[in-house]
Structure 1
Amino acid sequence: MSRLLSISEAEVVEMTRVLRSRVVTDVVTQVQDMLNQLDSATLNIAVTGETGSGKSSFVNAFCGVAADAPGAARTGVTETTLEATAYSHPRIPRVTLWDLPGIGTPAFQPETYLEHVGLLQYDFFIIIAAGRFKEHHVQLARAITEAGKRFYFIWNKVDNDLDASFRRRSSKGVTEADVLGQIREGCEGNLRRAGLQDANVFLLSCFQLQSFDFPRLQATVVRELESHKRHVFLLSLPNLSSAVVEEKKMALRGAVWRRAIEACLTTVTTSDGCRGAVPLLMTILTSYQRSFGLDSESLQQLATLTGNSYQVLQKNVHSTTGQELSEMKVQAMLNEIAATQQTVASYLEERVPVLGTVASSGVVFAASFYLLTSALNDLSQDATRVMNVALGLSVTG
């Protein structure tokens, strides 16, 4: 029945439930409330650890900014963080990483540390260690657990550990997996002996974030966060694997029908037809670009971090919706799609009758749904191409 019918039966059922439950004026409020819950979700991530462990480097790597970029977390071998410092994610400002004062210094008192840094404002803690496992790591992990918060234990600078281990070993046959296994077992054993049986340990290098355990850290946090916070966390992740890109697409795809209804409802009080939905759709498409790291600022940051040319990365953005947007361009795309969606609009009116009352023949909804769905497919493909080139996994064609 037309390309648009990639809309699932479950989505039709959910639309029907929502739209039939209210008169048109209440539909606006109900749909907007759903979107507000999604759009207003915030995530506060506390990053703590000892001086020199790489807390600030982790913040910068997660946010995808160079250490010398404006607004980056200060890095150094001495303690540069004396108070909790907030760093908003450059693409997803609702995600904030907090660089906390270092532990293990004379000023560190495990009994009062969490109160001092404001325990309750954080959704979870990242504890970063490097070089040696120390008692204050256990003290902090136990205090966080007792306070009812979740932590993820990161052993950082594992690339340095590998180099040092291979320099020290004269015997042959020792593999990277052997060394990593020993480090992981040592950390997990120390935490278990402290009564932290279910502690998660991740081995990382902030200068090789695509390697080692960062993908596993991503997957673990996504699995354990509640729905709206999971959504915003996913959108903030750096594109380091095709799996992450696909998860971002699916997270955004879950709200497409709501976005399309929102666009449809913007035309209720106007006689502009599809034209009345263009400003909102342009805003949504621009947010999609940022989520996939395809806006100009994100591409420039990625080029700086990976040593690539911005022009080379931008060249791999092939889709129309990945390019610079204008209302005229969005209007043209929407008009082209709307011309083919009358059959789909009639089908949806039969299944969800209120659509016919909120916009002429449901065409605005049908066209908006198709435009946003197609954009997500195209942008995810662009993001994968850009990622592969940036990480040296493929060459430009």
Structure 2
Amino acid sequence: MNVAFDSGGLPALVSKLFELQQNLEGIPINIGVTGEAGCGKSSLVNAIRGVAHDEPGAAPIGVTETTMIPTSYPHPALTNVQIWDLPGLGTPNFQLGNYRELVGFSRYDFFIIAASERFKENHAQLAKWIGESGRRFYFVRTKIDSDIEASRRRTHFNQEEVLAVIREDSLRYLGEQGVKSPQAFLVTSLDFNSYDSSHLRETLAREFPIHRKRAFLRSIRDPCFEIIQRKKTALSSEVWKLALLSSAAAAVPIPGLGFACDSGILLRNLPFYYQSFGLDEESLTRMSVEIAKPVEELKTQITSPQSTDLNRSLLYKLLSASPGMGLMAGGYLLRGVPIVGSVVSGGIAFTMTQRMLNWFLWSLAADTERVLHWLMHSD
């Protein structure tokens, strides 16, 4: 990705990301199964994996707290998928106040929040935390066979009606707790082929590509932004040479020479900066074709002046509006003072040109990050 960006700016980097995205099977997916202690998390982990409790490699289950640290188990059929049995919430070691930090929500790509009885405030809080981390989640009511068995004692028993009432009650409560668009599934690990297990499998299969894509984007976000920052730093390290030219011109006591030199330096170098980041008109047009989006949509993410708008009039306006214009004007007034005036004028010009070029670099780097972020989160 670094080589691509150095050779062709943002369009080349986006092209490389598209190429990498063509095969997401190599992207690891981590599923966190969480919930209160004793809700049947470990049994659910085994059921999702299709592993019996007494098989080698099964998550241990028991009436006491068996999961003391997050433990991963590979999915036998899904490549690079790890299902994590997380410690139970509410035990002496894992209280609500420290659970998020101890478990480390950022490690996982999405979550299954399990409950063996009614969903409670703790489950809603877990969902809010997970949502804040940018991950998705599913609610699963385990041990639903116990609810069905208890309902059989009623005079008029209808299994589908009982399941419908439990689903509606669960979704209503979670909605009242502020959970947006919750999905709830009713299962039993003793007979995982019954109740909502098939619906859960279908949902996971349907949305799994989305989770893989999001995991991919999270994995490349920081490296991409680091690449952009390295480019900014590299270009910024050369700014002093251009500022030195501006300083030399400013030291000459000819009215307007320094200002003209400054605008000339900017006109010659700013197009190079646009090309380096891939924000020039040609690069944006090429990228819009590859991603099949109008170039105008790309430009809405750019706050810097468009590369096509660069002209001497715009640069005069930027220079005259810069924060140090008062100092620069003072430098021009001092040019008539022998030696001292030239030194002061040259120093002020050096500072102002350096600041202006660095401002452009920082602005273009921020625009590049903004466009890349927009592309990552668009369809």
Specify the structure having the higher radius of gyration (Cα): 2
TM-score for the superposition, normalised by structure 2: 0.48
TM-score for the superposition, normalised by structure 1: 0.46
